[in-house]
């Protein structure tokens, strides 16, 4: 069997780069609580991304919770996409929010502004909206922003997968009242575990650092807080990886082009790229013509040591632990979730790898008895 190819591969810095920073940390003997590396990471990230304010924390889920809490949305109704990683929803549920699932656009797979307007009309008490730039692709930020202003809702983007994506010349993280990113080891830029909130208001500038560190400064307690702090060692990983991030983004663009070429002619639907988007190629999602094809493709790849993932299945509106009244049907998302596969994607893949993946996709789709063509 040929070497296995997993859906992604963790990017690591030169060990020397990381250990040099660690040596300094050991010398300072200050290993957490808003240390020097954390502050430097916040500064360099804001500069690298070109965003107003960055607060780093210990993971992306915490970043979501900090943003939801500081936006005053805890316990309220929040519209959310069903087509995302489960953490988007978990953050809402831990803060006792009521999720209002709004289906996605069939082409971009992001939350549909048109359907959102309908939900606002029916449920004027929706206080916040939590769309996801899925796969690092851009939501319809113009219309979502306009709608949230019109209906007085807070707009928080889950941009966990969008590091490095730019839209009309700006980082996708700069959009919305708040935007969160994940720095988990599987993401393009990471700190092993980590995340950040990008924000704009003076209120957030006060509230977020407090919320991240138990809500108090010395003996004065201001507001409800939690432990969302990032350690110096995690920040050092981020500082070590940030300089190589542009090269990783460029490599991913090449891998995407290799896949596009190798898979040409196969009946695969790809999510639409919005005009003005410079995509980070965080994933390589393809939608098979139907569920049967998806099963076959997944099986064939796995038999040959290639490990795609079903990002994102199941859709969150169907989770077993939801309250019955939250389970609205979201046919577009459910259909996409049945047909989607994310093929392996990371900067280290070469053209042999992508051709290997493509040839098994081809044999799954054409080498079998199954004839399809009706949908395409």
Ligand X SMILES: *Cc1c(COP(=O)(O)O)cnc(C)c1O
Residue 107 C-beta: closest distance to ligand X, Å: 19
Q: Please, are residues 40 and 146 in contact by the beta-carbon 8 Å criterion?
A: no
Residue placing its CB nearer to ligand X in the complex, 70 or 134: 134
Q: Per-residue contact track with ligand X, 115 to 134, x per CB under 6 A?
A: -----------------x--
Task: Indicate the residue among 93 and 266 with the shorter CB distance to ligand X.
Answer: 93
Contact 280, 53 (CB under 8 A): no
CB of 277 to ligand X, least distance (A): 17
CB 128 within 8 A of CB 155: yes
Q: Is position 229 annotated as part of the catalytic site?
A: no
- Sequence length of the chain is 376
Which of 187, 206, 229, 302 is labelled catalytic? 187
Name the one range near ligand X by CB under 6 A: 84-92, 114-122, 142-150, 341-349.
Answer: 84-92
Q: Does 59 contact ligand X by CB under 6 A? A: yes
When asked if residue 88 is in the footprint of ligand X (CB under 6 A), the reply is yes
CB 179 within 8 Å of CB 144 = no
Q: Using CB under 6 A, pick the residue from 8, 69, 81, 84 that binds ligand X.
A: 84
Minimum distance between the CB of residue 24 and ligand X, rounded to whole angstroms? 26
In the window 136-195, what residues touch ligand X (CB under 6 A)?
158, 160-161, 182, 184, 195
Cβ 152 to ligand X, closest distance in Å?
A: 25
Q: Which is nearer to ligand X, 41 or 132 (CB)?
A: 132
Interacting positions 217-246 with ligand X (CB under 6 A): none
CB of 69 to ligand X, least distance (A): 15
Size of the site for ligand X (CB under 6 A): 14
Q: Which of 22, 87, 236, 357 binds ligand X (CB under 6 A)?
A: 87
365 belongs to the binding site for ligand X (CB under 6 A): no
Q: Looking at beta carbons only, is 245 or 300 nearer to ligand X? A: 245
Q: 324 forms bridges with which residues in the sheet?
A: none
Cβ-based nearer residue to ligand X, 182 or 240: 182
Instruction: Give the C-alpha separation, 30 to 23, whole Å.
Output: 11
Q: Among 7, 35, 61, 153, which residue sits at the site for ligand X (rule: CB under 6 A)?
A: 61
Should residue 60 be labelled a site residue for ligand X when binding is judged by CB under 6 A? yes
- Least distance in angstroms from the C-beta of 206 to ligand X: 24
Binding site for ligand X (CB under 6 A): 59-61, 84-85, 87-88, 132, 158, 160-161, 182, 184, 195
What are the catalytic residues?
187
């Amino acid at each position: 069997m040929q070497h296995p190819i997993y859906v992604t591969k963790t990017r690591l810095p030169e060990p020397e780069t990381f250990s040099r920073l660690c040596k300094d940390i050991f010398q300072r003997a200050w290993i957490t609580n808003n240390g020097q590396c954390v502050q430097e990471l916040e500064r360099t990230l804001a500069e690298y991304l070109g965003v107003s304010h960055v607060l780093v924390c210990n993971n992306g889920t915490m970043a979501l919770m900090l943003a939801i809490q500081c936006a005053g949305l805890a316990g309220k109704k929040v519209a959310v996409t069903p087509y995302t990683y489960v953490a988007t929803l978990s953050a809402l549920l831990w803060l006792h929010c009521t999720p209002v699932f709004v289906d996605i656009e069939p082409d971009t797979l992001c939350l549909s502004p048109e359907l959102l307007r309908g939900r606002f009309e029916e449920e004027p008490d929706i206080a916040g909206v939590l769309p996801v730039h899925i796969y690092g692709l851009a939501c319809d930020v113009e219309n979502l922003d306009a709608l949230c202003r019109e209906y007085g809702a807070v707009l928080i983007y889950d941009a966990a997968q969008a590091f490095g994506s730019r839209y009309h010349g700006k980082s996708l993280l700069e959009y919305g009242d708040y935007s969160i990113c994940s720095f988990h080891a599987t993401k393009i830029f990471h700190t092993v575990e980590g995340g950040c909130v990008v924000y704009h208001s003076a209120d957030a500038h006060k509230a977020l650092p407090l919320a991240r560190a138990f809500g108090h400064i010395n003996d004065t307690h201001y507001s409800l807080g939690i432990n969302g702090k990032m350690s110096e060692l995690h920040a050092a990983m981020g500082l070590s990886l940030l300089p190589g991030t542009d090269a990783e983004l460029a490599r991913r663009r090449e891998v995407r082009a290799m896949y596009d070429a190798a898979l040409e002619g196969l009946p695969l639907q790809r999510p639409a790229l919005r005009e003005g988007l410079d995509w980070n190629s965080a994933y390589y999602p393809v939608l098979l013509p139907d569920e049967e094809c998806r099963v076959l493709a997944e099986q064939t790849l796995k038999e040959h040591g290639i490990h795609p993932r079903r990002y994102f299945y199941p859709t969150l509106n169907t989770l077993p632990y939801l309250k019955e009244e939250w389970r609205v049907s979201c046919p577009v998302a459910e259909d996409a979730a049945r047909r989607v596969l994310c093929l392996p994607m990371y900067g280290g893949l070469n053209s042999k790898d992508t051709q290997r993946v493509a040839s098994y996709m081809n044999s799954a789709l054409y080498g079998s008895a199954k004839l399809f063509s009706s949908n395409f």
